[in-house]
Amino acid sequence: MKDMKAIKFEELDKVTGGVLTEVQHCENSGANVRMTPGLDGKVCATLANGTMLETTGSCVEKDGIVWYQVHLASGSDDAWIAGSLIGF
């Protein structure tokens, strides 16, 4: 995954795996969850505000956005969501 860089120090406290987080701050259409981090990642789900997710412990910065890897409730593969769309 090129064009990704290490996360900022202040983000490290949010990276622990197994932390539950909630989709927030998304507009009418919902929050896109992607197969890979980045705006060019294929959208695999769109989630409404209030949807609960579990973090895996991985995050990266790409396209100027911090992306968090999360477990989807559907049991499918892990996916990525922009940090600005979730609350800890």
pTM of the model: 0.78
CATH number of 30's domain: 2.30.30.40
Establish if 25 belongs to a structural domain: yes
Q: Is 74 exposed, middle or buried (0-12, 13-18, 19+ CB in 10 A)?
A: exposed
pLDDT in tens, 2-53: 444 444 445 545 556 777 888 987 777 889 999 999 999 999 999 999 888 8
pLDDT in tens, 70-79: 987 766 678 9
Residues in the chain, how many?
A: 88
Establish if 82 belongs to a structural domain: yes
Calculate the alpha carbon distances from 48 to 10, 23, 26, 61, 83 in Å: 27, 7, 7, 23, 15
Which position has the token pair 């995050």? 59
Domain with 14 in it: 9-87
Establish if 40 belongs to a structural domain: yes
